[in-house]
Homo-oligomer: A and B are copies of this chain.
Amino acid sequence: MAHSPNALMIRKLDSIFSLSDEERQVLGSLPVQVATFKPDRDIVRIGDRPSQSFMVLQGFTCVYKLTAEGKRQIVAFHVPGDLPDLQSLHLKVMDHSVATVSACTLGFIPHEALYDLCNRYPRITAALWRETLVDASIFREWMTGIGRREAYNRMAHLLCELLVRLKAVGVAEDETFDLPVTQTELADAIGASTVHVNRVLQELRADGLIRSRGTQIQILDWDRLKEAGDFDPLYLHLRQDGKA
């Protein structure tokens, strides 16, 4: 299932602008170093000054921050095809940490190579910039949920988002997907306690919106889940056909 990192990148950027042959070629020859990580490992830490960014090739990663009290907030999940750490290209010091959630395969690309790329291909710059803007849009949506929606609805919203994003990169089909994320991590993502996430998931099941077996999540009633989550995919800025 592990795509070639370069192929994944090309596919991603190509879906935004139609890349020229030259652009494809340059992207194809980017030096990418592939590495695997176990679940729950920090990839970059707050305070670090990374000299490379990476693309998720397999698995789930998350971006998180800790409060002084030691509470954790996950501010983003990233799935195959995402570039969770692009911002380190222009913000030298990490203001957050990035970690694996499941076991992951990652493709690291030196900043140098990206700078070079950006200097020569403004359209690729724009595409990468756009990626970071979509991330920011998702932050806004999550913040709105955490600030103004109840836990039940936030959970529904998160499940909607994940299904749509996973479908967009072809990692999910139909209404089922693998969610290798513990309830504690879900809690950190929606800003609730583990106990409460547990109860909210039970409610979603009882209401017939979802079903789960192990880490598999099945959406039983997409329309009602969408409504419960107040989910409108506009903020994901996907193309009309729902592809990334």
- Give A residues with C-beta under 8 Å from B: 46-47, 63, 65, 67-69, 71-73, 75, 87, 90-91, 93, 95-96, 118-119, 122, 125-126, 129-130, 132-137, 139-144, 146-149, 188, 190-191, 230, 234-235, 237
A133, B67: Cβ atoms closer than 8 Å: no
Determine how many copies of this chain the complex contains.
Answer: 2
A136, B134: Cβ atoms closer than 8 Å: no
Across the two chains, which residue of chain B brings its CB closest to A137?
B95
Residues of B within 8 A of A71 (CB): 148-149
Residues of B within 8 A of A230 (CB): 67-69
A149, B237: Cβ atoms closer than 8 Å: no
**A to B CB contacts below 8 Å, 5 in the list:** A90-B129, A119-B122, A125-B125, A143-B143, A147-B191
B72, A130: Cβ atoms closer than 8 Å: no
Q: In the complex the two chains form, what is the Cα distance from A235 to B63 in whole Å?
A: 14
Residues of B within 8 A of A143 (CB): 73, 75, 139, 142-143, 146, 191
